[in-house]
Structure 1
């Protein structure tokens, strides 16, 4: 039989048993729960975050798996210690009536026959990492093809002691924060521009992005070139063409939803068309429209209209449209009508109209004449065309750069670009930069790139990397003139990898040292939305959901919040009923519904099949929200 494990995040809660028996399971009275179940509950509540357990299905066979044999042996050691599977179906949570749960205090659906230590101990499978698994039962055929979840009941000496369901929260331990290689110089964001200029490094930006807000006048749906020109002029785009436009248009919440969305789409389209009129090159456009519920609920609460924030969306619209509240709240509502515009820009170059053949000839001539600045400019033009599939990458192999110090920048750029085009071949890139280090032993950019590549190599194994030496080399970069923020980013990635190696060695103390370093230092590094998401998933993989939430919370109350950040935050926090009772949190959920209603609804699919857990529908507010928007 194939030996598999599933790592599932567990929501742990304890309870008192004071109802019926099922099979041979014995009840525990409130007065005797400590005596009968104290040992079990103590073990469960003391499990380290990295120790996980759950059920795995192979066909209809159900297996229990746990990642640490030591804790498994603490839970199950007496003949009548055991496990039972409770099968719960989504049909038990209908939108048109009350939830249909079993009248029992220790299971909710169909409890399968328990299996005890005396019966399963001979069938336990253990691997070299101390993970254990064994078969606990067979899924009844009637559940095949239905939406179901499996909850766990742990039995101690014949007594029902612990019951739990499971939540599916995506995790990632090995994904690193983005690290760029120096190509002439590193530019990843505006902060890098500032720090790089302080280091007297030349920046040649071939592309960048701009973000700005356009307020909407009430009732105005068309925006002409004349309307947009003052904004366009203020952006000073003389040296750039717009390659992409992303417009998120928001309406105030009064009026019909369909009318609001139609109006916002018209507004956004007219803005995009007006911007297109300023250039001949075609602009790729992405447009979305939604009602601005997030800012409405926040502003209503802060402006003395707290009573309306507890209403449903339809009740709020009724108050605004039919009871005159919209006129009264217009000073607030006018601020909610806006478009958030993001422009992706490509720098205009003087070689734009030249053919590939001419560009290659110019490049070869510049190399021959040692006009290095011109050669770098042409090299960047070639890189840009290759990235955009307007030039074959074989051009680079046809042009040989002399291996001399005078051509050092060009050689570094070439090696970095070749790695960019084939990031799977880390070893070849590492060899290339090691050779350049021999030519230019004091070049700080080469030393930085070598550290980046060694970190990436370390993910795949320890054979060619000596971790302590790598750590010294990373720390030494600051003294060689590399910006502190870039060195900190490398150190964060070093500890991301180190924590997993320590976890593998079961050195939990060393693992925690790396996690604590990351939690204390990530705020000193400029990070993208993807970086924040990766970091949150990293902390979740070690059961540090508190740190995951801390990473994401500052970003999720914005109306233009990144969709991935918002939905991962919901994954982390929606399981807590204290959150769903909070008006501010409900605004976050409404934002998610506006952003991607289908994705929000899928949160309530079965865990393991794309959802968090449909048993969230036991929460009255979540069930009401789900049934209003998804059913």
Structure 2
């Protein structure tokens, strides 16, 4: 019995002696903290202050790791599970928490002062050599830090924990005492990491209206459906007041969920049901309104991402300049035959419209005929029925309507006037409407199938069918003019069109193009309709429209482009070239707004149907400007429908082309602006950082880099300060004004230090 007791005593003696003394822990902590703080000062950071709560959390976790003989950030007891939980167990004052852990090589106790200093150096070197640990040691997010140690006598290893933290304030007048029940998320948030870039982009689309309403305007509503799958998934707004980011110290709330005043969360179903976007792909939805006590304050809205009732991400908006490349100017092909011009012929057009109700041959109202009937040279009658009903009944109707129109417009007209009548079902307009109004699935179906569809859904297409029935008579009036008349080419053009004189039409168009004379005649529907019929005119008509694009109806130009792009085999090489150039311009013009209406988007011909025409411009050593314009225009189309693979193809083409054209720093900035227009912020950062130390790196480049690196700097917090100091050096006032306007930049201590030390003077 004595032996047993002795043995137990000896064992106890060994165990007791094989522990770190309090004095050894203190010396080791001082030595290691000294090296860490020296590194922070070297990196432009303030030394870490000490705190008893952080010390207790660090000691507690080192003891846990020593007991279970493994390195881990997670403990099995729920109350102490995460670094955040452990700090919260000892204090509720911290808004930010971080943790580094490490185990030493086997050491023999007790430790001499020299051994303690050597051990502190080894531990410091190990952390410094690890990217994640090094990032924590120098992070500007933390202002306090404490070290905890424990020893495992069996393995003779010391387990080390450094807990980092920053204390937060308590923002008053919260709308909920418990953040509306939202808690900090962990495992449930793993999936959210896939959407890191989406979260950044979504945060940049927040805005506060003059009435205090907070809106999200995001480009892809399907991202919402993909990210937020359950009823407790959604978004919440966190409102930050400018005064929270003063030079006296940031007063961000210590809550792990919000930093300012949190608005009530909006969950998936409400996010989508409140969408007021005009396009099929966009999301514009209200997320809340500014509380009364914050109205009139200088606020910025941040975004909290919620998955299954847990906070999984936090995104702040920031100013980022961006700009897409403009279309390249391409000189069109032109055909100018040597044909003499006339001084008599057709010199005026009058269009008379007749609107018919369904099943009627008498118009709703007879139009007024205010022209000299003695000068009538020709009349075109276009009588239409809509496509619903039956072919037999429609044939009777449009012939009856044509007879009525002819009776009205030919009364008193001389017998030598040329009367042309077209009476038919208006399938041309119907096919255009199918694409325009979101019924593209009917395109390619038989006329009987389309007719059946309209018969069943006539009430839903009342306006469209009314437009199909609209008929008209075009009155051509004759006269004479001199060669010096400012309308000389217009009158010749009109006369040539009536006489179907193709060479003279081309001569007039070419001459008017060269003279800089936009023809008023091309604004008449009847002229466009006649020109649509002749492939020999496409080259000059397209050239003319390219030069005077803004003089004519965009819808008419779009209709013209679509018509001939569907018949490329009938066109000359010059005509195809001009038409493809016109396609790029019309596409870009139609898509020049962020939230394009579905009906407008439907007007754009699918680029895949045009791509085959681009084959002649591919595969050469030199990029043809037509091919470049095609990608500059169609990337906007694919951006509207969020077709990522297609966007990527055009993005890479444009990027690669302009990379070869870079000759000066401003060219590089233009390329970076293009990257930013597609939220490729890391690409901008890496591109401009590679030029950061070049002599020609200028103010424009510095400020753009400062913007993008503030949005997405990856793990390189140190570089954020360097970039901002460089921008500050170029233009102090501009930098100070920018930071003051986008005050959440002051969250970053390096920016805060620079602003508070320099901008307030």
Shorter-chain TM-score range: 0.3 to 0.5
State TM-score, norm by structure 2.
Answer: 0.40
Structure showing greater radius of gyration is 2
Greater RCO (Cα-Cα under 8 Å, separation 6 or more)? 1
